[in-house]
A and B are shown apart, each in its own frame.
Chain A
């Protein structure tokens, strides 16, 4: 294992994040605050509570998940797409590194950035609502796994993308709708029965439900199922990346 190379890629990517630290952090904090004002205060004042939790607090896990998933995906996809776009990928391909090392460097950095933003939102939420965390270890575990899985997904998108439009396409058309419809702002039990069934095909439901359970101890689906879902997602992404590097798909001729 070429740990020096992993560290070099990781540090290089993190440096990019810190160069634009204001943009990187201000925009998620601002948008989260807006969500709290609009959903938590304006709409939330008319909804007493969901599953015994005040609506403002209820949406916190969903909001964190929303940001973490989109940030992990976009950071990882951009991280590997940019070298392809400007041509510096030659260096990665000619370096004594294997696919695992390249992936660890890029995905690790993207996951760290997403984690940063998740924590910032968590802290911001404290200023708006009372939150309690019943299962802190599970909360951290879910957060970490979500950061890593979606960074893996973003990495695949970055390798696949042939231009900047394609880079935005999947996050915009697939991830955002899935997250919004995945129970970020409501409990699945609030839906009519037919929609409850359909919702179960949305993988994001399992992630948000598990994460919310860590906060409030209530979940839409069994926690074990949530864990299994995220583990499956992570393994699927890893397999795809392994295949990409083995065949050289879209990167090595």
Chain B
């Protein structure tokens, strides 16, 4: 499938000399949810702002739906909806007027039915006539999404949609995103919450210090990079791990009742069987076994550490 958003060698250096983006290459496929994961200051917002036209790139290019975002900015921007990180809304405006304004700004003819439909999609239909300042924080975020969707974009950028939002609202937001995806909208969201990327993304891009370290299918990334842990509960507590088992770099729990073995799922051999045999030979009897997949968070941390060394 051709990419709906294609970023080529995108570089952004500020006058202060700070380089926010160091030659980003990124292809986003139509209909997917891509999570851009990175610590604060990684360049996530700069990347989004540059694609959307708020920031001017120093070099490199971006196309959206095949249209260059600078030469052919009208066609490119018409396809994009942007939900900013901050809640930037006119407090005294009514919800429906604010959404209708966004639609007009993007050159779409007035269509109250369409606006009503978008408000309904975001469960804002009963707030259509309310002033924005009367809404709760979560509702305001929905208004921002409604405004971004007002011109029926094909690509939606969500910049930290759940920053500072409580758990319930976050889950709620994830449902909204899933719903939008089912309507065929391509979604790019930035986040520094790993669980968010893990919960809703199809692909994850890891960005740090203005560089994309890796973009990959979420499950694939976790399988490939994932280290798994095998925890063995012992029938009798031990004071120390016998020397015969030192090769396995086992970790002993503080109470001496369990050892943890970390292995790499990418390796040809995980070494589990041999380790268990040696465990048995050393006279440790197992009571139970449990394995655990390492999270995206650990993958992320190890990648960022790798970059720094």
Contacts and interface: CB of A to CB of B under 8 A. Distances in A.
Given A94-B53, A96-B74, A253-B56, A4 B109 contact: yes
A90 B74 contact: no
B101 A86 contact: no
Interface stretch (A6-14, A129-137, A138-146, A236-244): A6-14
B89 A4 contact: no
A96 B92 contact: no
Most buried by A among B84, B97, B104, B108: B104
B88 A8 contact: no
A43 interface: no
Interface string B46-88: 0001001111100000000000000001111110101010101
A252 B54 contact: yes
A86 B90 contact: yes
Main secondary structure on chain A at its contact with chain B? Answer: helix
Contact of B101 (A12, A96, A252, A253): A12
B54 A93 contact: yes
A87 B84 contact: yes
A92 interface: yes
Contact of B105 (A8, A248, A252): A8
Contacts of B53: 93-94
Contacts of A12: 93, 97, 101
A207 B108 CA distance: 40
B129 interface: no
A205 to B, nearest CB: 39
Contacts of A248: 56
B147 interface: yes
Contacts of B91: 86
A96 B49 CA distance: 14
A5 B82 contact: no
A209 B162 CA distance: 59
Interface string A192-205: 00000000000000
Nearest to B101: A12
B108 A4 contact: yes
A11 B101 CA distance: 9
Nearest to B81: A94
A126 B297 CA distance: 75
Contact of B104 (A8, A94, A252, A253): A8
Given A86-B89, A90-B54, A253 B14 contact: yes
A93 B108 CA distance: 17
Contacts of B86: 87
B92 A19 contact: yes
A31 interface: no
B106 interface: yes
Interface in B15-74: 49, 52-56, 73-74
A88 B90 contact: yes
B137 interface: no
A11 B102 CA distance: 12
24 contacts: A2-B107, A4-B107, A12-B93, A19-B92, A86-B89, A87-B84, A87-B86, A87-B88, A88-B89, A90-B82, A91-B102, A91-B105, A93-B53, A94-B53, A94-B54, A94-B77, A94-B82, A96-B74, A96-B76, A96-B78, A96-B107, A97-B105, A252-B54, A253-B55
Given A2-B107, A16-B92, A97-B105, 15 more contacts: A2-B74, A11-B104, A12-B93, A90-B82, A91-B88, A91-B105, A95-B77, A95-B106, A96-B73, A96-B75, A96-B78, A96-B106, A248-B56, A253-B55, A253-B56
Q: Identify the 7 closest CB pairs spanning chains A and B, nearest first.
A: A8-B104, A87-B88, A96-B74, A96-B77, A94-B52, A93-B54, A95-B105
Interface of B: 14, 49, 52-56, 73-78, 80, 82, 84, 86, 88-93, 97, 100-109, 147
